[in-house]
Amino acid sequence: VLGDLRIDGESIASRRVRALLARLAVAPGEIVSEDALMDAMWPDGPPKSARTALQTHVGALRDTLESNRARRSDGSYLFRRHGGYLLDLGDELDASALRYSVERAETLRSTKPSVAASLLDRALDLWQRPALAEFADADWARGHVVTLEEYATRALVLRMELALEAGEHADA
């Protein structure tokens, strides 16, 4: 979700499937209602056939998610749950990796500065603007985009501080 929405580096042709992925990705591991998904996919109001179309797009997203990955023991990354869907990509979601890297680096800053610096380099390599690309201005995405920008800023500031503390003034 950092930058243009892609799965394993591959572009997603369908805008509706991108919207579906984006909406699910801002709530990783949480159930997102069908209504919220349809609102993301059809911002001007869903058509009468939206529920059927949603199922079709969920199937397309599921196929795309699983086409380049070894099957997990439970068989999926996208689950139907209680009137909605849940996306579980674990640490494969770039936003999750960004958050983890920054939080871990903050923890290791004083005890293992070189490890912290490597984690921050990873976080900064992941960062692409704007987060959630074409959906960054959607009501459901704004808070998530701000949070990701804050993580990227924290990564940059901490990385510069670590470089200065290590005497790497040219890198800061």
Whether the predicted pLDDT of 169 surpasses 50 = yes
In Å, what is the CA distance from 29 to each residue of 46, 88, 149, 171?
25, 5, 21, 37
Residue 139 φ/ψ, nearest 5 degrees: -50, -45
Mean pLDDT of 45-67: 91
Nearest to 104 by CA among 121, 87, 89: 121
In Å, what is the CA distance from 5 to each residue of 83, 93, 135?
25, 11, 10
Residue 58 tokens read as 């969920």
Residue 68 pLDDT grade (very low, low, confident, very high; cuts 50, 70, 90): low
Percent of the chain with pLDDT over 90: 64
pTM: 0.84
Structure confidence by residue, pLDDT tens digits, 100-140: 999 999 999 999 999 999 999 999 998 887 888 899 999 99
The beta strand positions in 77-162, using DSSP E, are: 78-81, 84-87
